[in-house]
Every structure is written in C-alpha cells, then in structure tokens.
C-alpha cells in the first residue's frame, strides 16, 4: 500500500525554468544506490550546491522564502533519462505534487507510480501562479484529485486537470499496478496460449 492522494493544500516552491531534465533533478553520479531511500538529499544537486558542496544561496531550495509540498516548474519538466530516481528524489525531499504546463512522458508515469502527482495546467494558469508566487511567496494551491481540480488560492482561479482514470484510482486508493496485474494473471496466461 502506498500513501493515498486525495486533497492537498500547500504552499509552493517555484522553479520557473523550461525543459528541466532528469539529469538536473538527480545527476547520474548519485544513481548508484540499490535502494529507493536518500535521493532527496541530492535533489537538484548541482543547482543546489557549488563545487565545494556549499549551498548556493541563489537556488530556491536554499531560501526560506519558499517552503511547501508542491513544486511548480516551467514547461517540459522531467525530460531526458527514464531514471525513476528523479521521482524518488522529488518525493524523498518531501514534495507530493509537481505542477507544470507540460511533462515528459516517462517522468509522468514514474511520478504516479510513486504517489507523486504531476498536475498539468494551462500556460495561463502557470504564468499567473508564478506571478502570484513572486508577489506573495506564501501563496497556496489546493489540489483536489478526486474532483480533478487545482486552485490558486491567491487569485481563486480554478482549473480542472486531466489524469487517466486507472492511474487516478491507483493514486486515490494507494494501489499499484502489480497488485492489479497479479490479480489478472489468468488473462496473461490465456494471451500467451493464444498468441505465442
């Protein structure tokens, strides 16, 4: 059983960059672990720390201004490598949702398989959210997964978002695909008999 995702109201951490790839989320040299724990410490490692491992004061995770369980990023977030370590790092750091106008496919799947909700919003909603966060860093968002809505509580703008019903059911109930697939094993065997 994974942690269920239903309703989340939280402050946000803005990262207004486009095409943030999974090599930035977690650089390859930190992929050598054989468990899923501890990746949060190296989230955005090379933006967060300098060469001497000193925290970079300009990077948002090192500032007290922004704290929260929702990461807000520019379009095409999570492109590049299929490393699920990226989702483990974001979730391990303490985020429960990522909001962007566009996500890379594999990252999106990996997130949902780890109880981390990717929420796709319109470019207009995203631009307004970045503006709200700049004006008032404590701006909160409310994400209602059962009703598939997201609200900027500063401007009261609400938008509905898409998620496939199967994955939504998994997230809301804390289930994973293996539970489902194992229950469906006879169908797999029947397929093999017919096709192979």
Partner 1 sequence: MKTLFDKIWEKHIVDTLPDGTTQLYIDRLYCHEVTSPQAFAGLKERGLKPFRPERVTCIPDHNIPTLNQDRPIEDPVSKKQVDTLEQHAKDFGLTYYGLLHPRNGIIHVAGPENGLTQPGMTLVCGDSHTSTHGALGAIAFGIGTSEVEMTLATQCLMQRKPKTMRITIDGNRKPGVTAKDMALYIIRKMTTGGATGYFVEYAGEAIRHTTMEDRLTICNLSIEMGARGGMIAPDRVTVDYLKGREFTPRGEAWERAVACWETLHSDHDAVFDKEVVFHAGDIEPMITYGTNPGMGLGIREQIPTLESIDETGRTSFRKALDYMGFQPGDTMAGKKIDYVFLGSCTNGRIEDFRAFASLVEGRKKAPHVTAWLVPGSWMVEKQIRAEGIDRILTEAGFRLRQPGCSACLAMNDDKVPPGKYAVSTSNRNFEGRQGPGSRTILAGPLVAAAAAVTGVITDPRDLLNE
Residues that bind partner 1 (CB under 8 A): 16-19, 21, 23-24, 27-29, 31-36, 46, 51, 74-76, 79-85, 87, 102-106, 109-110, 113-114, 123, 127, 164-167, 176-178, 180-182, 184-185, 187-188, 191-192, 195
- Find the shortest distance in angstroms from Cβ 119 to partner 1: 16
Of 46 and 153, the one with the shorter C-beta distance to partner 1 is 46
Of 82 and 142, the one with the shorter C-beta distance to partner 1 is 82
Measured between alpha carbons, how far is 84 from 31 in angstroms, rounded to an integer? 10
- Find the shortest distance in angstroms from Cβ 137 to partner 1: 19
Q: Could you give the dihedral angle defined by the CA atoms of residues 15, 160, 89 and 102, in that order, rounded to the nearest 10 degrees? A: -60
- Find the shortest distance in angstroms from Cβ 78 to partner 1: 10
Under a CB-based contact definition with an 8 Å cutoff, are residues 106 and 129 in contact?
no
Look at residues 155, 86, 80 and name the one whose alpha carbon lies nearest to residue 118: 86
Under 8 Å CB-to-CB from 86, ≥6 apart: which residues? 22, 25, 26, 78, 107, 110
- Find the shortest distance in angstroms from Cβ 9 to partner 1: 27
């Amino acid at each position: 059983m994974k942690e269920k995702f239903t309703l989340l109201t939280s402050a946000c951490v803005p990262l207004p960059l486009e095409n943030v790839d999974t090599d930035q989320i977690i650089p390859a040299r930190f992929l050598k672990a054989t468990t899923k724990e501890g990746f949060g410490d190296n989230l955005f490692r090379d933006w967060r720390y300098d060469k001497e491992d000193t925290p970079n004061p300009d990077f948002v995770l090192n500032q007290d201004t922004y704290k929260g369980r929702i990461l807000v990023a520019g379009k095409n977030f999570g492109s590049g490598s299929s490393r699920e370590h990226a989702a483990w790092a974001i979730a391990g750091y303490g985020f429960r949702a990522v909001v962007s106008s566009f996500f890379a496919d594999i990252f999106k799947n990996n997130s949902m398989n780890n109880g981390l909700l990717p929420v796709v919003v319109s470019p207009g909603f995203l631009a307004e959210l970045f503006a709200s966060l700049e004006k008032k860093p404590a701006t909160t968002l409310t994400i209602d997964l059962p009703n598939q809505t997201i609200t900027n509580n500063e401007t009261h703008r609400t938008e509905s978002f898409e998620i496939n019903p199967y994955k939504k059911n998994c997230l809301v109930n804390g289930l994973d695909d293996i539970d489902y697939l194992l229950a469906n094993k006879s169908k797999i065997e029947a397929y093999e008999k017919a096709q192979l």
